[in-house]
Amino acid sequence: MTVEVGVIMGSTSDEPTMIHAIQVLEELQIPYEKRIVSAHRTPDYMFDYAATARERGLKVIIAGAGGAAHLPGMVAAKTTLPVIGVPVQSKALSGWDSLLSIVQMPKGVPVATVAIGTAGAENAGLLAAQMLSVFSEELAHKLDARREAKKNEVLSHQEADV
Ligand SMILES: Nc1c(C(=O)O)ncn1[C@@H]1O[C@H](COP(=O)(O)O)[C@@H](O)[C@H]1O
């Protein structure tokens, strides 16, 4: 099956966060690849990864990074595929640094930035799935079913009316 989503992250230390995006993709049976790519540490690989992503068949890239989180923006600079940026929670500044590095892109080069940390990573997986669902009724149905299940889970925790 052709890989549709590239899940990339600046370091192996981002894995505990980015696993939450991956779990959504696995749950929805979306083919993905996971790579450690860094604008700072492996700039040439990052450049090549982004520049060839579309021709390799990828449809969306989820990029997570922490601290001086330049990876999502730099990848977005080298591809016109949608890039979803996940600010990984940093120790020193609780992820504010990551968030601001990712979200404040100059006009013309968008990155769809989600919330800091694991909730953001999960939403990144869902957002990628929702983008792909535009072209897949099957995936749209899976997403509807997931929403319904989550809704029922919330409602099941309500106390019975007296
Ligand atoms: N922000 C970036 C980039 C980048 O933006 O290219 N490359 C690595 N990093 C980040 O450095 C943090 C610490 O990395 P280490 O734990 O490896 O020292 C990670 O959160 C990573 O995303």
The amino acid at residue 51 is A
Q: How far is the CA of 32 from the centre of ligand 1 (A)?
A: 21
Judge contact between 146 and 29, C-beta under 8 A.
no
Question: pLDDT tens digits for 14-54?
Answer: 999 999 999 999 999 999 999 999 999 999 999 999 999 99
pTM recorded for the entire structure: 0.97
In this predicted complex, what is the ipTM? 0.99
Structure tokens at 91: 């120790």
Pairing label, strands 32-36, 112-113? unpaired
| Ligand 1 binding pocket includes 37 (Cβ within 6 Å) | no
Q: Which atom of ligand 1 is nearest to the CA of 88?
A: 20
CB-neighbour burial class of residue 125 (10 A; exposed 0-12, middle 13-18, buried 19+): buried
Structure tokens at 128: 């990628």
Q: Quote the Cα angle for 93-12-106, to 5°.
A: 55
| Ligand 1 binding pocket includes 24 (Cβ within 6 Å) | no
Binding residues for substrate: 11, 14, 41
Question: pLDDT tens digits for 65-119?
Answer: 999 999 999 999 999 999 999 999 999 999 999 999 999 999 999 999 999 999 9
